[in-house]
Amino acid sequence: MSANANASIVHARRLSKAYGPVKALDDVSFEIESGRIVGLIGPNGAGKTTALKAILGLTDFEGELSVLGFDPRTQRAELMEQVCFIADVAVLPRWIKVSEAIEFVAGVHPRFSPDKCNAFLAHTKIQPSMRVRELSKGMIVQLHLALVMAIDARLLVLDEPTLGLDILYRKSFYESLLSDYFDENKTIIVTTHQVEEIEHILTDLVFIRDGKIALSATMDEVGERYAEVMVNPDKAADARALKPLNERQIFGKSIFLFDGIERARLAALGELHKPSVADLFVATMKGTYA
């Protein structure tokens, strides 16, 4: 929470959304500040996409939500002048030509720069006369990214943007995003299952499970709070006494994940590591599908 209320890009209070008996969002409150890259991570069906859809004005919900000061339910068109959105690879219309897509976005979007877009596309094999249906999955996402990066928007929402792409496209996707797009005036919210690939770019982490926020913290806080210790078998019992979140075995040693235990006590047990987001996620989500 920032003292400066203007710095808050997304302000959500007690959001709920149910699909029949299933609560996709269950009384969720959160705050997203300007200049952050927030990873929204959760198992399938946890409510990530519903949260993003609510932010983008694509679904009804209960509760209070303001995005850049707009109510997404009633002001989607105005909101979309400031917000960009890549759902996944398959949403560009297959019939459209690259040149038509650029002309259309340039015509409807006051903050779009065709020159910038063409400059991005110059680094790819995409030609203006090509239709989307002629492009590979990787090229479609390059095109979508070029369109989006040429828009000077304040919030970029990415929902599984690299699903089904090979690792070369995935790497270059996040690299261009960081080097050519992101700055302190922009905010990015991203969901993905490939947590390892984005954890180094995140500033904030939100875990969502069964429609509730399971964890919401900055990456710095995560680093302070959580620690992984590699413990020899003789000290394993001492480690278990400290109530670890998780325990796994590797090369005859146990690796324990702790939440909020003093560093000094942990250091006595064995070698300390910063846990990966993926390991933290697995520990937090234990029993989700049981």
Partner 1 sequence: MNNIPLLLKREYWEHRGGFLWTPFWMTASILIFTLLGIVSAEVLGSNAHVHVGFSLDELRNNISANDLAQAGNALDMAQLVFGGLACVGLFFVLFFYLLGALYDDRRDRSVLFWKSLPVSDTATVVSKALSAMLVAPVIAFAIATAAYVVFLVLIVLWAGAHGLNAFPAVFAAHPLGMLGRLVLTVPINAMWALPAIGWLLFWSAYVRSKPFLWAVLIPFFALIANWWLGKLGAPHFAGDLNLAAILGRLLFSIAPGSWMGSSGAGILGNHVRMGLDNDHVVSSLDPSHVYSLLAEPNIWIGAVAGVALLVGAIWFRQRRIETAS
Give the binding site for partner 1 (CB under 8 A): 56-60, 76-81, 83-87, 90-97, 100, 103-105, 107-110, 144
DSSP letter for 61, please: -
Say if residues 162 and 172 touch (Cβ distance below 8 Å). no
Nearest to 32 by CA among 237, 179, 213: 213
Nearer to partner 1, 153 or 195 (CB): 153
Minimum distance from residue 80 beta carbon to partner 1 (Å): 4
Minimum distance from residue 110 beta carbon to partner 1 (Å): 8
DSSP 3-state of 162:
coil
Minimum distance from residue 153 beta carbon to partner 1 (Å): 10
Nearer to partner 1, 60 or 115 (CB): 60
Q: Which residue is it, tokens 């047990």?
A: 269
Minimum distance from residue 107 beta carbon to partner 1 (Å): 4
Say if residues 243 and 209 touch (Cβ distance below 8 Å). no
Beta-carbon contacts of 284 under 8 Å, excluding residues fewer than 6 positions away, are 207, 209, 214, 215, 245
Nearer to partner 1, 84 or 135 (CB): 84
Minimum distance from residue 20 beta carbon to partner 1 (Å): 14
Minimum distance from residue 45 beta carbon to partner 1 (Å): 15
Tell me the residue type at 25: L
Minimum distance from residue 256 beta carbon to partner 1 (Å): 42
Nearer to partner 1, 75 or 194 (CB): 75
Q: How far apart are CA 108 and CA 95, in angstroms?
A: 19
The tokens describing 19, both together, are 């699909």
The tokens describing 170, both together, are 């995935």
Q: How far apart are CA 175 and CA 151, in angstroms?
A: 17
Nearer to partner 1, 104 or 203 (CB): 104
Pairing of strands 37-41, 204-209: parallel
At what angle are helices 167-176 and 137-149 packed, to 10 degrees? Answer: 0
Nearer to partner 1, 191 or 254 (CB): 191
Say if residues 279 and 246 touch (Cβ distance below 8 Å). yes
Nearer to partner 1, 110 or 252 (CB): 110
